[in-house]
Amino acid sequence: MFAYYLDLALRSFRRNKVLTALMVLAIALGIGASMTTLTVFHVLSGDPLPDRSHTLFYPQLDPQPRDGYREGEEPPNQLTRYDAETLLAARRGTRQALMTGGGVAVQPQAGTLRPFIADARYTSADFFAMFDTPFLHGGGWDKAADDARARVAVIAKPLNDRLFGGGNSVGRTLRLDDTDFRIVGVLDDWRPVPKFYDLNVGRNGYGEAEQVFLPFSTSRELGLGRNGNMNCHAERPDDMRDTDLAAPCTWVQFWVQLDTPQQVADYRAFLANHSARQRAAGRFQRPDNIRLRNLMELMEFYKVVPSDVRLQLWLALGFLLVCLINTVGLLLAKFLRRSAEIGVRRALGASRRAIFAQCLVEAGTVGLAGGLAGLGLAQLGLWAVRQQPIEYAALARLDATMLLTTFVLALVASLLAGLVPAWRACQVAPAIQLKSQ
């Protein structure tokens, strides 16, 4: 019967071309607007590491002075260098990594290339395994390289293409800030969305991944330039730099991998013990103020998705609702204009259920046509987003999931819009319609 109902729907479309076009246009506009904003929201709010996000945790401690303390206040979102290195040395998790952002001057060996500045990440050996970074050549360095402050580097594929023509550069020399580094690995294409491991660099964490990765210990020994937020909460001697080990400044991010609930509980206890020891030593003045959130909890707490994207999503869904209400009216008008036809079918033995199904098939067909047109409008909307000067613009593209969602949303929306008109149509009394003929 479905094929028969579909044939009836197509015949109806040909008889009422203008009305059909208006319904398809209404659904297409609603689907196009909602899928544009829904795709952007999907891209920005997705889980960057679906297989392990629940095992990656971000510790926070509070080394600030007692003055100004309020119970329940959120601790700083970064650690001091001393606390980060202490947690790293304790090795209480499956893996752990401290890190900060930076910038280095790349001095190409090829005479045709001029020196340039590249974004860098100063981190520790577990970074690559913990965040499952893909390697094109080689791999990361080991803990021994951290301890030895080795001059080793991992570079990203774009930088490898620029400097070495895309070849295997493992073992070659890279000169950064007048210091030679040995390349031990080349990352394949990698751009986590968002750049969750450091939400303090770039707006909302949707920037490109760094081009150079160096041992944190090496960066401090060489005094390489860093970037990102830094907050100092106490006076320090004139000869002490903000990045020194003893400096009372929070500027280092720290991540730990905890694979079981027991590990999580043990690590919370470890953080509480560390806080108590630092308070006894006079470094910490406030009561225990500890946080340990996993990756997705951290993204939700810091509202990584921009507020304007959330607002646009709600506005677009509201617009879709308006379009569906208009479609309900158009379908109702179309079905009731065919009351005589429906009355004849009922008199010939068609049940109310059959009439209801016929009308829903027609509404669903309108929805699929609207979804196809809406897909084109969504692509146009995403192209417009990509032209904007915003950090996440290049990410606004339909993937397979959102492509399927477009048609599912169009079909479901049209079927919902067709429920009331279909119900009204199947209530037509055949006797009255036959008498009026």
**Residue 342 binned pLDDT confidence (cut-offs 50, 70, 90):** low
Q: What average pLDDT does this structure show over 210-219? A: 96
* Model pLDDT for residues 128-142, shown as the tens digit of each residue: 999 999 999 999 999
State the pLDDT at residue 173.
Answer: 95
* Model pLDDT for residues 161-177, shown as the tens digit of each residue: 999 999 999 999 999 99
Query: Residue 412 pLDDT more than 60?
Result: yes
CA–CA dist 110, 175 (Å, integer)? 11
* Model pLDDT for residues 346-375, shown as the tens digit of each residue: 666 667 777 777 778 888 888 888 888 888
Is the backbone peptide bond immediately before 306 cis, with ω within 30 degrees of 0? no
State the pLDDT at residue 435.
Answer: 47
Query: Residue 114 pLDDT more than 60?
Result: yes
State the pLDDT at residue 228.
Answer: 85
Which is more confident, 203 or 250? Answer: 250
Buried b (16+ CB within 10 A) or exposed e, 320-352: beebbebbbebbbebbeebbeebbebbeeebee
> In terms of residues, how long is the chain?
437
Q: What average pLDDT does this structure show over 13-22? A: 78
State the pLDDT at residue 310.
Answer: 80
State the pLDDT at residue 428.
Answer: 60
Buried b (16+ CB within 10 A) or exposed e, 162-181: bbbeeeebbeeebebbeeeb
Domain spans, the chain: 2-47+306-435, 62-289
pTM of the model: 0.77
Which is more confident, 171 or 395? Answer: 171
State the pLDDT at residue 203.
Answer: 46
State the pLDDT at residue 9.
Answer: 65
State the pLDDT at residue 340.
Answer: 64
* Model pLDDT for residues 215-249, shown as the tens digit of each residue: 999 999 999 999 888 999 887 777 788 889 989 99
Query: Residue 69 pLDDT more than 60?
Result: yes
Q: What average pLDDT does this structure show over 273-277? A: 95
Q: What average pLDDT does this structure show over 186-196? A: 89
Percent pLDDT > 70 in the chain is: 89
Nearest to 218 by CA among 299, 137, 125: 125
CA–CA dist 174, 108 (Å, integer)? 7
**Residue 344 binned pLDDT confidence (cut-offs 50, 70, 90):** low
Q: What average pLDDT does this structure show over 271-294? A: 93
Query: Residue 82 pLDDT more than 90?
Result: yes
